[in-house]
Chains A and B, each alone.
Chain A
Amino acid sequence: MAEETKGWDRNGMAARAALELRDGTYVNLGIGIPTLVSNYIPKGVNVTLQSENGMLGMGPFPYEGEEDPDLINAGKQTITELPQTAYFDSAQSFAMIRGGKIAMAILGAMEVAENGDLANWMIPGKLVKGMGGAMDLVAGVGRVVVVMDHTSKHGESKVLKACTLPLTGKGVVDRIISNLGVLDVGHKGLHIVELAPGVTEEELRAATEATIVG
């Protein structure tokens, strides 16, 4: 059971992902753990968060009683605005995504493959909710970082030689941050960048089906 407490939890992964943020950039955070990243933005790093439903400069959740039904994020949560906030329509929002103006997206994943393929939108026969803006984001932004559990509840690796689920994008992932560590997608496989606290390289390799080349 001790193994289960090793590595990063949800907040640990979010805190590690926050170290990817670069000062002065525009960033899109996905739903789930990626949303938590905004709680860990390092001091001195100024990033503007984009919400693909039509907002730059996303602020924190509102105080109780101050919710505005006209002001939500892409997860349909009530949020607030900041002094630098700008609103725009959905076509404009995805023009800036498709046009490469967003430096980075931090997204969740169901599966990632060693060539950077990402699956995070559909499980045939089970989960058929839709891709939302994920396909546009992975095709358009400068850098894609995924935050995910390294293995399924049953212990099966989710970092694979090839994805089994329908893809969100082909060869789009740059960096994987999992509960076990940080891996980069290289030309011939994955490179270990960092191990999460208490995790050995052997444990990371054992939990990874994908080829690790370095």
Chain B
Amino acid sequence: MNKVYPSAAAALEGLLHDGMLIASGGFGLCGIPELLIAAIRDSGVKGLTVASNNAGVDGFGLGQLLETRQVKKMISSYVGENAEFMRQYRSGELELEFNPQGTLAERMRAGGAGIPGFYTATGVGTVIAEGKEHHDFDGRTYILERGIVADLAIVKAWRADPSGNLVFRKTARNFNVPAATCGKTCVVEVEEVVPLGSLDPDKIHLPGIYVHRIIVGTHEKRIENRTVRKKEAV
């Protein structure tokens, strides 16, 4: 089985339509599917709802889709790094549904695992709980949160084999795993496609059953907050 496509545009062929729900991996700018986001921008598809922990920065990552007004609504936990986002949100051009970070991750995981909803104590007594079903278990109150099933998941991994088995690198794994599982279709961009048999089957982070199409490319991997220490004097 070979799931590798020649380009991001080819891999997205037939998968995009106006008003769709896209789940995206990444945390901040770490492990974001930057090539697929650029290709979605170029496709001109609009009215998107995007479930992603963050919304990129101005001009990079999901910020590119905000600049072109292709996004109708974001489902995110933290959007503080994007001035254009705040402008559109304040003017009412962009809808925003805040989800606590763990609730967003679990909504994706649950959606991908065939679980339509789950109870969590996160957000009880806050604005997040408003309008949601409350239920007590063993003396503690929980709220019902819904699983997310996305029309399309876009994900960045480090390595793939042609069957779609994926390996991530360090903290770039983040939302890529839950996002991948919740997509009806999942397209993955990787830094390297390696031959079948060269990934250790015991060290696959996401099995290929969740992955439908793969592209390989060069990633900018921009650092959002470069922080270093000085070498101690010897």
Within 8 A of B (CB), among A133-182: 133-136, 139-140, 166-171
At the interface, yes or no: B209 with Cβ under 8 Å from chain A?
A: no
Q: In whole Å, how far is B210's beta carbon from the nearest beta carbon of chain A?
A: 12
At the interface, yes or no: B17 with Cβ under 8 Å from chain A?
A: no
Say which one of A9-17, A19-27, A85-93, A201-209 lies at the interface with B: A85-93
Partner of A167, one of B98, B105, B125: B125
- Contacting pair B106 A91 (CB below 8 A): yes
- Contacting pair B177 A76 (CB below 8 A): no
Partner of A88, one of B100, B158, B173, B231: B173
At the interface, yes or no: A130 with Cβ under 8 Å from chain B?
A: yes
- Contacting pair B79 A53 (CB below 8 A): no
At the interface, yes or no: A72 with Cβ under 8 Å from chain B?
A: yes
At the interface, yes or no: B10 with Cβ under 8 Å from chain A?
A: no
Contacting residues, chain A, for B108 (C-beta < 8 A): 91
Partner of B101, one of A52, A61, A81, A166: A52
What are 20 pairs between A and B in contact, CB < 8 Å?
A53-B174, A62-B229, A64-B230, A72-B223, A77-B227, A78-B223, A88-B173, A89-B174, A89-B176, A90-B101, A91-B177, A98-B106, A98-B122, A130-B76, A130-B80, A131-B128, A132-B101, A166-B126, A167-B125, A167-B127
**10 additional contacts (CB under 8 A) given A77-B225, A89-B175, A170-B126:** A55-B170, A67-B223, A69-B29, A70-B158, A70-B172, A76-B225, A89-B205, A90-B101, A139-B120, A139-B122
Q: A-side interface residues toward B, CB under 8 Å?
A: 51-55, 60-64, 66-73, 75-79, 81, 87-95, 97-98, 117, 128-136, 139-140, 166-171
Q: B-side interface residues toward A, CB under 8 Å?
A: 27-31, 53, 76-81, 86, 89, 98, 100-106, 108-109, 120-128, 158, 168-178, 205, 221-231
